[in-house]
Homo-oligomer: A and B are copies of this chain.
Amino acid sequence: MKYCSTCGAQVRRAIPPGDTIPRFVCRNCGTIHYENPKIVVGCLPEWEDCILLCRRAIAPRVGCWTFPAGFMENDESTEEGAIRETWEEAQTRVSLMSLYAVFSLLSVNQVYLIFRGKMIHPTFGASAESSEVRLFREHEIPWEELAFPVIRETLTCYYHDRRTGQFPLHVGTIGDHRPPVA
């Protein structure tokens, strides 16, 4: 951020009065421009003993595999966002079962909200965002070609939980490279 989105003047980095964190503050009108994490809503679509993964057609990590997930939009709920992304990326309709994981990704300032979803029909397809979409049994999961650490972590939790038959909510942090607090 170099310019104020309100008045077009230059911004500077400063800690506003009463705050503790440096923000972008307009040199002209004084508007404070806060930056906050973005929400990524996603879905693990299930069909029988398979889950549906998408091969990414867009950067980053073109050619690698992910479950459907993308930035939550304004004017939608988390559940609606997860269903929308599943349709857009995998061309399949899901009925959500439960929120399965809430992962904070510190390195990119994203929070993933991942639902378990039941596919309504075993139909799906490629899209502008996915060059290939297919159902995987556990032994077929392309562990070495997953797009992001959060995808690997979620699938690891999922197959662990499937052995127990319990799918509790997972809340955690991924990619915490900060020095430990004394």
10 A-B residue pairs with CB within 8 Å = A2-B6, A8-B10, A36-B72, A75-B106, A75-B109, A78-B104, A79-B104, A98-B169, A98-B171, A99-B102
Q: In the complex, what's the smallest C-beta–C-beta distance from A121 to chain B, in angstroms?
A: 20
Q: 12 new A-B pairs (CB below 8 Å) besides A77-B173, A98-B171?
A: A3-B4, A3-B7, A3-B8, A8-B10, A21-B73, A34-B71, A35-B74, A76-B106, A77-B172, A78-B171, A79-B173, A99-B102
Interchain CB contact under 8 A, A2 and B5: yes
Given A77-B106, A169-B99, check contact A111 B39 (CB 8 Å).
yes
Among A1-47, those with CB < 8 Å from B are 1-11, 18, 21, 33-39
Given A4-B3, A104-B78, check contact A37 B34 (CB 8 Å).
no
Number of identical protomers? 2
Residues on A lying within 8 angstroms of B by beta carbon are: 1-11, 18, 21, 33-39, 71-79, 98-99, 102, 104, 106, 109, 111, 113, 128, 169, 171-173, 176
